[in-house]
Amino acid sequence: MLSTNLEELWTQFLELVHKKCSPAEYQNWLSPIRFVSATENCITLEVPNIFVKEYLLDNYKEDLHLLFSSSAKELPIEFLIAPPKEKKLSIAPSLPAIPQEKISNLNPNYTFETFVEGPSNQFVKSAALGVAAKPGKSFNPLFIHGGVGLGKTHLLHGIGHEVHKNLKRLSVQCITTESFINDLVDNLRNKSVDKMKRFYRNVDVLLVDDIQFLQNRLNFEEEFCNTFECLINQNKQIVITSDKPPSQLKLSERMVARMEWGLVAHIGVPELETRVAIIQQKAELKGITIPQNVAFFIADRVYSNVRQLEGVMNRLFAYCRLMQLELTETIAENFLKEIADVHPLQAKVSVENILKSVATTFQVRVSDLKGESRIKEIALARQVAMYLAKELIDDSLTKIASSFGGKTHSTLLHAWKKISQELEKNQNLKRQTDLAKQHIAS
């Protein structure tokens, strides 16, 4: 979660509480709390005394949990007690941890059991399971790539947990590329690079998150590459995640070639059904029941990544709890409207973008979609594009239809009806339409 998001969540929390509690209560207990700062996953609040902190935790701990922690057990809030007179804040900088402390650096919630499987991630999940069962003996390295919030870190930690569980004698090290660089900087400063080298080279399973941060860090790249080769040569397992495939990373040829040695697996955007299953699973983990229709409603509208999906759910759950509302489709709809930034589709989609996405998904040309051809595949793709345009664009039907090479309003309506019916019974078409919808650039 971005730090600005955490600050924004805190403001939202205050707004919700403001609506709910009495003015005096708000004045006495909530307004004295000062937002200090937010890092990637923790916010720091300043309270005038311990009682304000206790009040907040006694009354709103669960809401804060719902709102802030996507999966962590600990509430990601740090409290500072304001100094009595001069308000000088001293926040300890978060020092990079040294490697020894990171052996258990795995998120306890990121296991294979909690990872929902679907067509978009089946392959990569089985590769991860394979590697965890026989480290160093199947694919080495395993390189997992995909967009943000799609579960790369989750799978990486899943491998770590699985190895810990079944192969206790093996030493597993999970690091972010950033922390590898920080360690190296620290050790260079302390002239203890040899110690660090020894440490990394004695690891049995090295899990490296976000290798893209190694780009443009020449000196570090070389050291990383040496560590990498040393481990691979001893048949130690390496798993790497990245937001791009190796060939698209701005890294040396040597490094790219090494990363392509083993298996390169892509993790995609989950389909609608998988998103519904993820919503239900995350709700279950929080002990919340979510009606099927509400889960569908949310999954249909929040589709670009799972982290965003989780964020929206947490805020929605907290909202319902605070306002003591039952979670229904209408509530979800109003809530999503309020946080309109999560469904930019309605605001920005154009017919041109729909045409491009449908053309790619159905492998036809944009000009065919605008044309008159009655070839079955083309006519179907055209109707899907019309269906999506009517669903996603808030404009007059006549105007939308005219963007399809001057079609009429009734042609558009006919296409929409036909595809709506077809989607009910044709799973394949549904999947393709879903895919086209997901890939519409806003």
Distance (Å, whole) CA 135 – CA 133: 6
Segment lying near ligand ADP (by CB under 6 A), choices 92-100, 149-157, 251-259, 329-337: 149-157
305 binds Mg ion (CB under 5 A): no
Report 144-163 residues binding Mg ion (CB under 5 A). Answer: 152-153
Sheet holding 43-47, edge to edge: 34-38, 43-47, 77-81
By CB under 5 A, the count of residues binding Mg ion is 2
Nearer to Mg ion, 140 or 177 (CB): 177
Tell me the closest approach of the beta carbon of residue 151 to Mg ion, in angstroms: 8
Nearer to Mg ion, 106 or 354 (CB): 106
Residue 105 CB neighbours (<10 A): 18
Segment lying near ligand ADP (by CB under 6 A), choices 96-104, 107-115, 196-204, 334-342: 107-115
Q: Which does 187 bind (CB under 5 to 8 A by kind): ligand ADP, Mg ion, none?
A: none
User: Residue with CB nearest Mg ion?
Assistant: 153
Instruction: Tell which one of 30, 56, 269, 278 touches ligand ADP (CB under 6 A).
Output: 278
Segment lying near ligand ADP (by CB under 6 A), choices 305-313, 333-341, 343-351, 416-424: 305-313
User: Residue with CB nearest ligand ADP?
Assistant: 151
Structure tokens at 376: 């079955």
Q: Which residues are 263's β-sheet partners?
A: 142
Query: With contact defined as beta carbons under 8 Å apart, do 105 and 203 qualify?
Result: no
Tell me the closest approach of the beta carbon of residue 31 to ligand ADP, in angstroms: 32
Instruction: Tell me the one-letter amino acid at 79.
Output: F
116 binds ligand ADP (CB under 6 A): yes
145 binds ligand ADP (CB under 6 A): no
Q: Which does 70 bind (CB under 5 to 8 A by kind): Mg ion, ligand ADP, none?
A: ligand ADP
154 binds ligand ADP (CB under 6 A): yes
Segment lying near ligand ADP (by CB under 6 A), choices 39-47, 93-101, 150-158, 195-203: 150-158
Residues found near ligand ADP in the complex (CB under 6 A): 70-71, 110, 114-116, 121, 148-154, 278, 306-307, 310
